[in-house]
Structure formats: structure tokens, C-alpha cells
Amino acid sequence: MERPLGVQGVENWVKGVLAYTALSFAHASSIDYAFASTADTAPGVALAWGFLRMYTPTLSALLVALLVDRGGSVLEALGLRMAGGRVVVWYLLAPLLVLPPLALCLLFEALLGKLDLAGLSASLGPVRLDPLVVLSLSVLSGYFAAVTVNALFALGEEVGWRGYLYHALLPRLGYYKTVLAVGILWGFWHATAILWLGHNYPVHRVEGALLFPLLTVLLSLPMFYLRETSGSVLPAASFHGAVNAWWALTVLAAPTLGDLEGGVGAVGILSWALYALVYALRKRKNAFK
């Protein structure tokens, strides 16, 4: 278990967590409001919105670590320390951990009779290829995106959620309460993006804003495993990058499923719940060794 940052009594860490939460929500919602107020939907504008929004947790965590906690190593508090080759190995392996729940989700969509790989092939470009070839190429290209540009974007979030909050809460709340707290906050941090911009839930925005925290809690279990095992947020960033690269396939491959039923709805939640259970059982088994 890591050493708490700048321990000056209970009040100081509570102030830090509250300040981080308030700042990250305020910064993100301000960016969402600014982009919702514009009529420009060009890809470059959406890319700028994503990058700026995803780095609000880093900005908030850095401000709190410097101005509120004021003690210990800032880099350690943000989860940015390097632990030799172990971090590099986990960074490269982490995206592969997204493949089992991805396969589960596609399987469930197939069992429901909703999987349309031919439609997926058509949606990804004018050149028609065998659907399985398209799926394989999408997975391969998604991996390279996950460990490069997607990880760079995702790192902005991970420094806050699996960096600062992990470091601040784990010694005080314990493992599962920290997973739950971070997962819930992380999910509701997306609320204004969902409500104002239709992010992930273009049709059912209110329901999506309430449902998404359940998905982020489940995602947090494997991400905390990576954080704990590697000692760094970097593997969590490449994992997050893989989710962003690959999970859209679950929506594109089952276009007739609504946003509350498909990859970010019931089917996706079931897939991640089964996968998260594996990590919970693994954690329990290790605790009894």
C-alpha cells in the first residue's frame, strides 16, 4: 500500500479530495458548455473538445497536489513514477486485457441476433472486405492507437482518477471502497458531456448519465489491478486507450440495439460485470494466500 501524500491529519486529505472533485467537475462542465454552445461539429473541433476535457483531471490533480496537499512527491501522488521495465511491459500488455470483454459483448450481441459484421464492414469504409478481416484489422489498428495517441489522451484522465484519487483514498478507504468511489465519481464526471452533447448516449441522455457510472465502476476493477500491479497510471492509460479504440465496434456491429441496450448499455454492462468478477475473485484469492 502506498504512503499517503502530505498527511497532515484527516482534514487535509478530505480537503484535497473535495477540491479535486469540485475542480475536475467544474473544468469539464465548463468545456462541455462551451462546445455545446457552438454549432461547429467539425472533426477537429470534436478532437479539441476531447483532448481538453480529458486533461481536466490532470490539471485539477496537479493544482490540488501543489496547493492543498503540499507534501511528499507530486509525481508519486499523480501515479507518474516509473518502476523500471515492469511499467513498460504492463503498458504494452494492458490493451490486450480489453479483448475478453469485447469478445463477450460481441458474443452476447450475436446470441441476441443483433450482430451485423457485414454492416460493420460497410460502416468503416467504401472498400468491401470480408467482415472477419475487417474486424481483425480493426483490432490490430486499435491496439496501435491504444498505446500511442489514445493513451496520450487517456492519460489526462488517468492522472486524476487512477493517480491522485487512488493515492489519496486507498490508504483510508481500502481497495473496494476506493474502486467504488473512484468509479462513481469518474462516471458522473461524464454527466454534462452526456446531457449536453449526447456523448455515448445520443438518444437517452438522462438515463445514460445515470447508467454510465455503473459501467465506469466495473471498468475500474481491471484498471485498479493494472495500477496496483505496475505502480503507475501508464498501463491504465493504455487500457483506457484500448477501450476507446475498440468499444465503438460493439455499437457499430449491432446498430439496431439502442444506446441503453448495446455496448454502453445492458449488454456492455453484463460483459464488463462478468469480467470484473474475475478480478474480484482473483483479489480475494490473493488475500487468502
pLDDT (tens digit, 9 = 90+) per residue, 126-181? 667 777 888 888 999 999 999 999 999 999 999 999 999 999 999 999 999 999 99
Asked if residue 11 has pLDDT above 90, the reply is no
Decide if 222 contacts 239 (C-beta within 8 A).
yes
pLDDT value of residue 4: 47
Q: For residue 215, which of 154, 269, 176 has the smallest C-alpha distance?
A: 269
Q: What is the dihedral of CA 234, 237, 239, 240, to 10 degrees?
A: 170
Question: Could you tell me which residue, 258 or 82, shows the higher pLDDT?
Answer: 258
CA distance 261 to 6: 44
Q: What pLDDT does 1 receive? A: 46
Q: For the residues 242-262, what does the mean pLDDT come to?
A: 94
The pLDDT assigned to 13 comes to 85
Question: What tens digit of pLDDT does each residue of 75-110 get?
Answer: 777 888 766 788 999 999 999 999 999 999 999 999
Half-sphere exposure of 11 (CA within 13 A, CB side): 0
* pLDDT reported for residue 6: 44
pLDDT class of 66 with cuts at 50, 70, 90:
confident
How does pLDDT run across 165-222, given as a tens digit for each residue? 999 999 999 999 999 999 999 999 999 999 999 999 999 999 999 999 999 999 999 9
Residue with cell 460483459: 271
**CB of 193 closer than 8 Å to CB of 222:** no
CA 240 to chain centre: 5
**Rounded to 5 degrees, what angle do the CA atoms 102, 236, 97 make?**
30
Portion of the chain with pLDDT greater than 70, in percent:
91
pLDDT classification of 120: cutoffs 50, 70, 90: confident
Which of 94, 103, 101 has its CA nearest to residue 240? 94
Using CA atoms in the order 67, 240, 168, 288, what is the torsion angle rounded to 10 degrees?
Answer: -170
Cα–chain-centroid distance for residue 209?
Answer: 15
The set of residues, in sequence order, having a beta carbon less than 8 Å from that of 4 and lying 6+ positions away, is 13, 72, 167, 168, 171, 172
